[in-house]
Amino acid sequence: MNKKLKQFLNSFLLIELLKGLAVTGRHMFSRKVTIQYPEEKTPQSPRFRGLHALRSYPNGEERCIACKLCEAVCPAAAITIEAGVRESDGSRRTTKYEIDLFKCIFCGFCEESCPVDSIVETRVFDYHFEEQGAQIMTKEKLLEIGLLHEEQLAKDIESDAKYR
């Protein structure tokens, strides 16, 4: 009997509704966490592992020496490298360097294994492909991305150097 009366009063006086509205009201005035992507972006760590890039030296020479450690360490077998002697100076260079982004799991092992800081992962994480096969990043594409983000990449590697 008592239980029924309590139930009736609760419904009649809209107490549950008011309780809910109170939560809404509280959140209305609290600090907002929603990010207005793409106008706004979350802060990123210098160790962020996004889209790959191949870096070059300031004089334009590619860093990669075709040691193939990244290919060997890649757990997803996403990297394919072919190497050879460069005609012009006889140095060891890649003739093909491809990363299949569909295979890549963004573990960052390639970056860690690289003895010359050539293959790196940039802070870029939003990209799309429109054609079949475009997910395969060729050497040219990777070098281009490297040039585009060189300033940021150099800074990130610098900041992380003391922990390596």
Task: Give the HSE-up count for residue 58: Cα atoms under 13 Å, Cβ half-sphere.
Answer: 2
83, 107, 147, 154: which one contacts other proteins (CB under 8 A)? 83
10, 11, 115, 138: which one contacts other proteins (CB under 8 A)? 115
Contact between residue 123 and residue 44 where contact means Cβ atoms under 8 Å apart: yes
User: Per CB under 8 A, does 85 bind other proteins?
Assistant: yes
Residue whose CB is less far from other proteins, 124 or 136: 136
User: Per CB under 8 A, does 66 bind other proteins?
Assistant: yes
User: Per CB under 8 A, does 20 bind other proteins?
Assistant: no
13, 17, 84, 159: which one contacts other proteins (CB under 8 A)? 84
* CB contact burial 77-105 (16+ within 10 A = b; e otherwise): ebbebebeeeeeeeeebbeebbbbeeebe
Stretch that binds other proteins, among 41-49, 78-86, 98-106, 147-155 (CB under 8 A): 78-86
161 DSSP 8-state letter: G
User: Per CB under 8 A, does 136 bind other proteins?
Assistant: no
72, 77, 105, 148: which one contacts other proteins (CB under 8 A)? 72
State the CB neighbour count (10 A cutoff) for residue 41. 12
Backbone angles phi, psi at 62, to 5 degrees: -65, 145
Q: By rule CB under 8 A, what count of residues binds other proteins? A: 15
63, 68, 103, 123: which one contacts other proteins (CB under 8 A)? 68
38 prior amide bond cis, ω within 30: yes
DSSP-derived 3-state class of residue 54: strand
Note the residues at the interface with other proteins (CB under 8 A).
65-69, 71-72, 83-85, 91-93, 115-116
